[in-house]
Structure 1
Amino acid sequence: MTDILYLRLKRNIEFSSMQEVRLKDIAYLTINSDKLQKSLGNMKIYQITQKDKEIVVIDSFLIIKYLTEMHPNLEIQLLGPEQTIIRIKKYKKSPSVLIVGFVWLLLFIGTAMTIMNFHYDVSMQEVQQKLHFLLTGEENEYPLWIQIPYSLGLGAGMLLFFNYFFKKKFNEEPSPLELEIYKYQQGIDNYVSYYENKLNNGNDPF
């Protein structure tokens, strides 16, 4: 009787250096035999060594080839991603407070200059002055009753747009920044998978 193994690889996973990678670590698997499922899950797939830098790509074809060699009567049904990208975590020093402060100050000044230049380009002050004249019939060079709420609303709008206040989120929806980071990470993963397959050129890493 042929056993059917349903296998779904995890897209991304993190490991420490010099760690043994087992099938259950990089994939979800299910089979009608609990004993065989446990045995397959504990099967060693890869050994992370010092030669591995930061990323290791495990291709599903190589896993299927390896499993069929060990279990000829096993039928494998692959679901989901075709590769697992292992990111190797290495010890990193905590960033310097001075460097973090300098970067924060640089971003703060750059953002402030961008906002001020935008308001200057669209003549925001003149618009607010004319709005004040239309509503009150009086001319005022600094209509603070408009400018102060506008400034507070600008800050609140940015918080709502990015959906973050320090580490707290207002709702479960991803922010535009998170979506851009996700797209960027997908691009990196696709490039890594393509480059790794091209580099290996069919060589078996097991």
Structure 2
Amino acid sequence: MENTIYIQMKHRMKLKKGAVIRLGDIAQLIVPDSLKHLHELQVLKNTKDVEKKFIVLDVMAVISKIKNRCPDADVQVIGPTEIIFEIEEKRKASPSIIFVLVWLLLFIGSGLAIMNFHEETSMQTMHQKIYWMMTGKINSNPYVVQIPYSFGLGLGMILFFNHLFKKRINEEPSPLEIEMFNYQQDLDQYVVLNKHKESTNYSDDH
């Protein structure tokens, strides 16, 4: 029991090229006082010339490094058995330019999507009928219906995405966040299955 090490690895980390990763960086450890130095054990290096986007490090490689340092250690693994490192790329454009470009793309794309939807569903004709039902008059441009509808459409989008600029309306995740989470899970699973054979290529062999 004095040499028992409990290790719980993180699932994903971002990694800068050339960084040296230590055991304490990638996992939560419960170790005896005599083995506190294991927090500084190097588990990943030589990443300066990595050309790939992802590196997968398997827990078996981590255990092997721990055993090399402490042969009598009893390693108990809790949770994930591999960690995915995402290599951060240098940004060639400033964040503000990227934000403006993405904002313009989303604004134009969503605007076209809404207009095409309204055209296919004859929304203007529907507004004219609603105005006629409310007033008994025919109006080709019933702004009294169209303007509140436009504001309601925007409010509905805010409620749907559960965000007003950077402020979250409530703690419930939005459908977009759930889809992004599912996408990330599928991406991680794909990376693990396809990169498993390369998981220790960039780790220290000593």
Match of 1:28 in 2: 28
Q: Any residues of structure 2 matched to 1:155-174 within 5 Å, and which?
A: 155-174=154-173
Q: TM-score, length-normalised on structure 1?
A: 0.85
Q: Any residues of structure 2 matched to 1:31-180 within 5 Å, and which?
A: 31=31, 33-36=32-35, 38-53=36-51, 54-95=53-94, 101=100, 104-180=103-179
- By relative contact order (CA 8 Å, sep 6+), the higher-ranking structure is 2
Q: Is the 8 A contact 1:62 1:204 kept in 2?
A: no
Q: Which moved more, 1:129-138 or 1:156-165?
A: 129-138
CA RMSD of aligned residues (A): 2.5
Question: What is the alpha-carbon distance in structure 1 between the residues aligned to residue 202 and residue 148 of structure 2?
Answer: 64
Consecutive unaligned residues of structure 2, counting only runs of 5 or more, are none
* Distance verdict in 2 for CA 1:136–1:107, change over 3 Å: same
- Equivalenced residue count is 203
Consecutive unaligned residues of structure 1, counting only runs of 5 or more, are none
Partner deviation per Cα, 1:37-78 (whole Å, 9 max, x = no partner): x21111111213323233221100111222233323221111
| Counterpart amino acid of residue 117 in structure 2 | F
Q: Is the 8 A contact 1:6 1:30 kept in 2?
A: yes
Q: TM-score, length-normalised on structure 2?
A: 0.85
| Counterpart amino acid of residue 135 in structure 2 | T
